[in-house]
Amino acid sequence: MPNPFQQRTIAFQRNERNVFFHILTACNLSCRHCYINPEQHGTGTLPEETIFAWLKLFAAPDKKTNLIFLGGEPTLHPALPNAIKKARKLGYQSITVDTNGYLHNNLLHKISPADAVLSFSLDGPSPEINDPLRGQGVFAACTENLAKAVSMGFEVSVIYTVSALNIEHLAAMPRLLTDLGVNHFFIQVIGLRGKSAAPSDNFSQTLQISHDQWLNTVPKVALDAAELGLHVIFPKVFLGPDEPFECAGLVAENFFIFPNGRVYCCPLCEDYPIHSYQIENNALILRSGLIEKNFFPIAIPEGCIMNKLLQPGSLNYQENGKPCHLISCCLLKQEMTRIEK
DSSP line for 184-207? EEEEEEPPS-GGGG--GGGHHHHH
Residue 321 lies in a domain: no
CB 196 within 8 A of CB 202: no
Range of the domain at 188: 5-245+326-338
Would residue 270 count as lying in a domain? no
- Cα angle, residue 260 at apex, residues 119 and 311 outer, rounded to 5°: 70
CATH number of the domain residue 96 falls in: 3.20.20.70
- Is residue 102 included in any domain, yes or no? yes
Is 14 part of a structural domain of the chain? yes
283 falls within a domain: no
266 lies in some domain: no
**Residue 246, phi then psi, degrees to nearest 5:** -140, 135
Q: pLDDT at position 202, please?
A: 52
- Residues 120-165: tens digit of each pLDDT: 999 999 999 999 999 999 999 999 999 999 999 999 999 999 999 9
Specify the number of domains making up the chain.
1
- Cβ atoms of 174 and 223 closer than 8 Å: no
Q: Whole-angstrom Cα distance, residue 137 to residue 131?
A: 7
Is 149 a domain residue?
Answer: yes
Residue 44, pLDDT score: 93
Give domain status of residue 256, yes or no. Answer: no
Q: CA-to-CA distance for 36 and 22, rounded, in angstroms?
A: 10
CA distances from 220 to 170, 200, 215, 217, 268 (A): 10, 33, 8, 6, 27
* Residue ranges in the chain whose pLDDT is less than 70: 1-12, 198-205, 339-341
pLDDT the model gives residue 55: 98
**Is residue 274 helix, strand or coil?**
coil
| pTM value > 0.75 | yes
The residues, any chain, with a CB within 8 Å of residue 140's CB and separated by 6 or more, are: 127
